[in-house]
Chains A and B, each alone.
Chain A
């Protein structure tokens, strides 16, 4: 069965839409393989706009790895904006891939990467435009397997009805394994149809097939149990961990878009995992253990990636980049190598200490010292103990003062509001901290030309973290505290003008909280919101809190639960959580203990330097921390 390109149908619609270039494909390093020569065909979706989705590392890595397999092809698809969606409906153009503009429904697997839960409504739009039934149970033999991955897939229950399967953790090896299962099943003539294929995937123990599990509820709404409804399906589905990042040096050929995107740079992951133990951080919990990429692989990837892409900026990614055991050598080696080439280097996600200023100085050797970002997260010493962000006020002020005196003019400080046990005083502590930072900076530099920006996000409790049991703070309280903080900053005559303040209102966090810790009953809410026009919920201009609340009211009618039940209700130790059958490797008792430690303001050390095995990941997953130093050096390149 050959598949025609939809481009001739799409092309006449493009002059009427915003930024048409995002829909035409043809990016440098993109791949179009022969349809008939492939036996396993993946459509990879990032369920947000192209400008956000294209730079996504996960999709780019899987796209490259799958296309390297001889019998597999992979193409990409993104959420279309409402202007094109309307035209596609009017002219009967289905959801397409940007590579060869093939219809998404013609593929074997639709793999969707969820970095955030706010992409759920966009999944429904894509399925509907593709002509794939929204509910997995309604799909037939000609429909693709709809497979979720990404961090949100660690609790896929709210979208369980819409998914055929989900995978947890690193995608490199499991996507190849899934391709092999699909290839075999097709080669055998698709025995047993769709269900047999799903069964083969589920029986590997590493693919979660929601419909093979039944959820029972207590009359009060709590979950009674989640159990397989057939034999051969594991009680708990395990996450996947790539142990040697040097064996998987992707992306090798980064996609270079013609359209403008949110990250215009070549990014290299320098390690995965984080063991700092910040209790609010889902990424840090579910990606354990720490696995470093070696300095030499990093150097090679940067060299190849820049040459292949023509980008003029390199980002060294990880959850806490300065924690790489050889980061100083990496920074100096790259700064030496690219000196005089107008190549920028950036190091997102750094912790608060003076060492980072040395790194930042190295990275800005030839450029401008504009802004540095630190994330103390909590405004008071007490709050930082609760969240296990081990930064003292003294550390922070010393670090920031050092930055100012070395020529940095602007410091950005990230905080959260609505953390467990938080009081108004904890949030007002942010204002005190910001003022002290400016005061110390002015004293150290003798200049009033320094600024500090306070940026605040709302805290959302996430599955597989110690705060998975916590009550989320209601949005009225969050908004009230943010207002008090704003007044405290603005009213200060001495320092107020030197302090910038950025915040978001609390309502979207409640919806994110509902979707993060929701169970299968939340699927009806997502559908109701989507039917009422919900799209692009991560974009404030498209998000509607009222639409979510009225959708929830309709969907929960007759159930003993509501939005508050999912968000602002604290859970007790024995309650079955919707994701308990999904194994991130974390020991539940350890998480509970860490939650109790949080409440008593007890800190926990990073296990990177003091191995402990307490969190359970290494023993249950058969993994180990992989860190240097390797002692190797980056060689200077001969300029071609």
Chain B
């Protein structure tokens, strides 16, 4: 019987099989940030077990509130920083070199096809874009991962999400994943891996695949996952060129983590995106999604472009292309947060930052901050945000605030209009990709 990508990865990493169809897997990487890791560190210390399973497999970053906003967040950073120094964790990204975890870790080449990765962060599913099994976990699972390099999961079932058709210009990966969550619902993929495939995924860049996989958890999925291909190899080449004689050789090695033709899936969802238009959320759940045209004119107070979903260079390029020689509406304020220092630096080189600033955007350092209402862009009671982030939960970006999730293009167009719109960006003519 054929196997899915997740089944192949689990098969290569099984440490123990427990009753109730639970598998304990060995981990290739444990990612850490300053919100969920310090409590794990403190607990390990209290237990007299302040150890790490493998210094080289632990990567850590301060990203959620950075620079620290108060004494409490400063202490969270300090606990992580001191721990990284104490254990000689070389891949620790402190202020000045830090970025949003799910953007900076792939950028540094820490994610490879076939890897198993956990992090105390639900959007860890992002890294499945590389053909890895990557799952968010709580602090206890993180603690065991740090100490022992293992984690337990229900043996994975996979949902096949086959995406066909050709995207119209102005429609992006964010619109695709919002439309899929709308179809399957916020628990449509609970306890399963969403395996994305089809010609649309094949044509996507790694950045777009990361946007797709990033929001798998919003449908309840354990991990998103895309089969590794030459796009994956090209992205990783600078990190793996010593390991493989050629890109073709790397591709052949990565074939070990592509699904078999007769793999068995728990469900299959087939989506044709040919007629897909820009999408936006309207309620407090990520499956409350409708075409932007139906929300046209909705008043907004703030626009936010950034996050692990849509704070990468291509996202900034798309938004900037719609902001050039324009000003945001005087009725709104707008914030852009490049997701990593490298993205920020390239955006400077390309003149994107100047376009944002000339348009009236506030440009912040890389941070998760506003997405979860912790810093740098918290909403006031009753305010509305047009946001490229991933969650529209009640109070997510600030108590009493409303969040509308959308693509960077829709967010940029909305910033100019002062209300939700896609009129600037969307046409059903022109070249399809």
Decide if A and B are genuine partners: no
